[in-house]
Structure 1
Amino acid sequence: MSQNAYIKLVPASEKQVVTIDEIKDMFTYYKSITSKTGEQLSWGYSEAAFPYTIEEKEANNEWFCLKGTDPRKNRYILIGVGFEQIEVQTDSTENQQCYIQVSLTDISTHGDKGKANEFCKFLATKLKGELHLFNGRVMYYYSKK
């Protein structure tokens, strides 16, 4: 059974809408900072920190797949962007809220789940979003006023 985690972009977030290309750019940035960490440690840390390749399927630019480089440890993580209708409590109107969905497939490994949690926390920190983890818990990465 597949599992899902969500990063919701709330009004206090850095951005209100994010695209697939922006998420891919964030993963490119993640790979560059982990490779710099590896250079400082004289160790190939970038391969351990991001053991995936980004694969694009024909999905109208709504999602992409992270395919593991070592199938024994990592297989697949799916990442997509969507919108949901939320009700504003003050005046009962509905607004659109952007979210990033991170999904594990039926064949995903425990290594995929650990990396997916790590990537979710990274994305939620960068975007100052609200992270709904695979286990149902919620982490807030934006300032509450």
Structure 2
Amino acid sequence: MSSKKKQTPGTIAVNKKARHLYELSEFLEAGISLTGPEIKSIRLGRVSFQDSYVEFKQGSAFVVNLHIAPYENAGYAPQDPDRDRRLLMHAREIARYAGLVAQKGLTVVPVRMYFQHGKVKLEIAIGRGKKLFD
């Protein structure tokens, strides 16, 4: 049997589909605003990038459709697993990426989620959609 591919230390999840659907360029590391039970669920690896992308609203960046499964032992009010989560980026980075997204055919997509010094980070990239046909 073949062994699993080794991931970079600290890597939680990788969006393999992003490299297939988009030509990626300009990678950037961003923090992500999460609650305690979401962090515990992420530590268990219960994250899905399916159909997720970054949206810019009112001078802030949000990751949309990032599914973090609910933590079973969460003691207080449950969170929506598909809620929009705020990305922690500098204002000039947000303005630059929002300007690039305004161009035709460009999207900002999450590529990888990982731990760095105990904090969850999200690697995002500018993607131009590939034309996928036979």
Shorter-chain-normalised TM-score: which range?
Answer: under 0.3
Q: Whose strand proportion is higher, 1 or 2? A: 2
Q: Whose helix proportion is higher, 1 or 2? A: 1
